[in-house]
Structure 1
Amino acid sequence: MNNASPTYDVDLYSDEVHLNPFPHFKKLRDIGAAVWLPRHEAWAIPRYKEVKECLRNADVFISGQGIALNDRFNTIMRGNAVTSDGELHTKLRKIMGKPMLPGALSAITERVQTTADALSEQLVARRSFDGVTDLAHHLPMSLVTEFVGLSDEGCDHMLEWAAAAFDSIGPMNDRAHAAQDRISEMAAYIDHCVATRAVRPGSWGDDIFQAVDSGEISPEKAGHLLMDYIIPSLDSTINVTSTLILHFARSPEQYELVRNDPSLIRNAINEAVRIDSPLRQFSRLVVRDVEVDGITLKANSRALVMFSSANHDERKFQDPERFDVRRNVGDHLGFGHGVHQCAGMHLAQLEIGCLLKALIPKIQRFELVGEPRYSVNNVLRGLSSLPVTVH
């Protein structure tokens, strides 16, 4: 950083910012396209155009040295699909992402829809329920853990391990320190799975071990790929589902648009990802000097690529705080962009789409019957409770 660089001296990982991040994101965007964060010794990249350029420019803004703002977790994570570059990333992504490609997902679509139909019948009969724990959790927790092929221990702890991992992707603050016991538990479980192949035969996890047997990857890489399934495969779906229900309750006219035209379901999902992106930001290591809108980011500095802020950039989205199911939103950055775009986004869209197809014919209106509560996590943005009644 030089003395002329714009700065923002706020802890972006404080509870206050986590619970209401968007005013801070706007201040960052107003300050500049690259803003120095002295509390985190990193550059914030808060605007849409520059975030997209960073994600495209994966040879300069690399993931292979980790995506966290602390060295400890960057060392633990190094070598999995999310934190690798080049040929290694391509190889790992191909193995891990294969069962989540649209063609492969067609084989499980009927199963997902049947499960969603049964859940909708139960919840509509109850009328009042929690949109997070009763609705949003159900499909990912019951189906994805089965598809991955985890043992009961893995299924029981997957959510808390994922939350701990995302806490560890921020700076090594109190929240990250508190997560380390869970990280150790997850690492021990993965080591056990690799040593004993404790996954269900024919599952996605089993496919990883088939790649070991064929010589495509080493046993160590099998553990990294299992970690790729355990950490990110639930939270995006859960958080986007509950965000949708919250906005349908707050904006019943938007829900009515989707009820009258189910072809808007996919766009409504994308708008929910845009307006309350489940992942706020990841860091990247800058490997050579690069200019961002006239500001030089020096080699070996850290850049915080801010997906959520970019999705609220007024330069890209008109009236970005408004939830609009008819918005042209296919190019949001809530699932990332480029070579590291979320491998599970098609699975998330399938699960949420099946839920909406099941719920829409049965529910005329969602009503909030209590205050929504957000969880506090260094990276995740999502509700912990959403009490609703359906009519």
Structure 2
Amino acid sequence: MTSNPRVVFAKRPGDALPVVGEHIILDTSRTIDLDKVPLNGGFLTKTLILSPEPAIRERMRDPSITSYSTTYTVGAPIVAFAVVLVLRSEKEGINVGDYMYGQTIWEAYTVQPYIEGRINYKPEDWAPDTFDMDSLALRTVPNPNGLYPLSRYTSLLGTPGLTAFVGFEGIVEGKEGQTIFVSSGGSGVGAMVVQLSKLKGMKVIASVGSDAKAEYVRRLGADVVFNYKKQSYESALAQHGPINVYWDNVGGESLDAALEALVPLGRAVICGVVSSDNVPPAERYRLKNSHLIMKKRLTLRGFIVPDLIPQFIGKFMTEVPALMATGKLKSEEAITQGFENAPQAIVNMLSSGHNAVGKPVVVVAE
């Protein structure tokens, strides 16, 4: 028998930052027989890389709070993005030795498909159209021996890159000579938006939470990068704006400043609201410039990645690897080693102003 550790969601954190050992725990009590465990027509995978992402926090909410995803079950394992290796298979089209990436249970070894663990996005509740429910489930890595490491499938080729790409293609409508402001420019999504914007010939202003992240985003090509802890959003945008487009990963004060800096008929793409995560409702920032939405005739569009997958997944899979191979798209990953450190990696990723440069990943096996 082989030890089969897993990351378990033990308790809902409410509006507070999750705590390792209380809300997220490492369960090392389970074992698995890798040779004899029944596959029931499925396949057995070994986890190689875990990808902590903000959507994990969204799924920790109370089930009574309506949102775009199902909630985690207390006592059940965390389900999120990962890269895995196929060890055994009874499923046609899935072969031993295949690398796969997508949503899966966070444990060392898993009999797939773990259907209960999928995003379970319900388009009938949120939009008139439907999309392939398997679009965020495990899919085969197309080129595991390519020019870049497997960790890229958690950044540029993973959920962050896909989110940035489909949002940029479907909503931003970026044009040469325009100016875009990207909040959290050093995040996995933000870093991709910065680069896509530069490929369109746009001027890019980006905010980050540390000087190290500022250097990283400058290396990606941003024209103006400021540390919001040292210079206010309002001051930076007054100095370097106005802006035509705002890509919002943050919300709160950043969105407020962007509303003031946007030109008439400008647009804001609302991709994330991390400034309000782990903050009680009564303490969350309240917009002061919402009146400018009407007066400037601004367009604000919120989205999540499944909204645009059917339209742009093919283009993403074709264009992004080619841009990476030619060095036109780059990324860095902030690597944590060891399955035992996965719970803390989640908390670190969710902590405001964490100092990791690049997309956080946890390497649990070679």
The answer, yes or no, to whether TM exceeds 0.5 is no
Larger strand fraction of residues:
2
Give the number of the structure whose residues are more often helix, by fraction. Answer: 1
